[in-house]
Amino acid sequence: MNNIYLIYGNEEYLIKKELSKIINDSNVIEDNIIRYNLNEVNVIEVLDEASTISMFDSNKLIICEDCSFLTGDNKKEINHDIESLIKYINNPFNDVYLIFIVKREKLDERKKIVKELKKHSKVIECRKIESHDLNNYIYKYFQVSGYNIDMNLVRMIVDKVKYDLANIINECDKLMLYKDTDKNITKEDIDNIIIENMEDDIFSLANSILEKDKNKSIKIYKDLLLKGEEPIKLLVMVANQFRLILQVKLMLKNGYKQIEMANIIKEHPYRVKLALGSNYEEKELISNIKKLYKLDHDIKIGEIDKNFGFELFLLS
C-alpha cells in the first residue's frame, strides 16, 4: 500500500489522534516531518518537498493542513496545481508519507482530485460522535485503560464537561491519573477532579444581559459566584461571548457557513452554533463590549470594587 492518507471530519480530537498514530507508526524522525497550510501555499510546494532528498534520513512525512480545496467551501483564491497532484498520487514516492487533513464534515465528491485521492489513499473519516454514542465511547475509554466506572458516572462527566470531546478526554485522563493505584472511579472522585464547563451558563448570562432581564442576570451571576468563580473571570468571559456573537454576525453577513466560521476564528462549532442563535444589534454588542472593557480597567486600577462593579453593570 502507498503512503498517502486523507483524514477528514468535524471532530478535531479524533483527527489529531489518527494523525499521531500515523506519525508514530511511520517512525519518521522529527526533522523529517514537514507541515504545510494549503490555504496559504500552493500544493506544488508540497510536491517539490516530496521530491527533495532528505539530508537526515530516507523517509519523510508531509502533513497538508487546511485542505479546503477538497471541499465546496474554498474561500481562498489559490490556484492549486491539481493535475500535478493527481500525477503524483498515481505514482507516489515509497519513502514519503503524504497526509491531507480536511476539518470539514464533507468532501466535494464531484471534484476529480477527491475521487483520485479516495482511490489511491487510505481514507480516515473522523465524524463528531453523536450525543447518544458519546457515553459509550467514554465508557470504553475507561475500560481499555483498565478502569471501572458506572455508566451513570460517565453521563455525569459528559454533562459536566459538555460538548468538547478533547476536553472530556483531558478530564478523564486527569481522573485516571488521580486514581492510578485504585482503578474504581466514584462520584466523589468526579466531584473532586472534573472541572465543570461554564459555557452554557456564560451564554445564558450574556443573553440575559442583552435581553435586559436583570433578575435572571443577577441570579446566574450569584450562582456562578457560589460555584467559586471570580467576578473578573466572569466579566472577561461575558465580554468574549459578546465578541464572538459579533464576529459570527458579521461573518454570516459575508456568506460564511457555521463550520467555516469555527475554523477561521478557531472556536468550537458548538460555541459558534450558540452564537448563531443570538439575534442582537451590532451597536448593542459593541456598546456592551466597551462597557465591560472599561469596567475591567477600572477594577484593575482600583477605582471600583470587582463585585460591586459587575453587579452595577448587570443592573444598568
> Is CATH 1.20.272.10 correct for 199-315?
yes
More confident residue, 63 or 261: 63
Q: How confident is the model at residue 75 (pLDDT cuts 50, 70, 90)?
A: low
Contact 256, 264 (CB under 8 A): yes
Continuous segment of H or E residues that includes residue 127: none
Question: Residue 74: pLDDT above 60?
Answer: no
Q: Where are the beta strands (DSSP E) in 106-218?
A: 122-125
C-alpha cell at 125: 473519516
Question: Residue 1: pLDDT above 60?
Answer: no
Query: What does the domain layout of the chain look like in residue ranges?
Result: 4-125, 131-193, 199-315
pLDDT in tens, 200-223: 788 888 888 888 899 999 998 898
Per cent of the chain over pLDDT 70 is: 97
Give the torsion sign (CA, 194, 199, 204, 210).
positive
pLDDT average, residue stretch 49-71: 85
What's the pLDDT score for residue 49? 92
Name every residue whose Cβ is closer than 8 Å to that of residue 134 and which is 6 or more positions away in sequence.
158, 165, 168
Distance CA(101)–CA(96), nearest Å, equals 16
Question: Residue 73: pLDDT above 80?
Answer: no
Q: 0.75 cut: is pTM over it?
A: no
pLDDT average, residue stretch 34-41: 92
What's the pLDDT score for residue 56? 61
Contact 148, 184 (CB under 8 A): yes
What's the pLDDT score for residue 10? 87
Report the top-level CATH class of 131-193: mainly alpha
Fold classification of 4-125 is Rossmann fold (3.40.50)
Segment among 5-14, 161-170, 244-253 with least mean pLDDT: 161-170
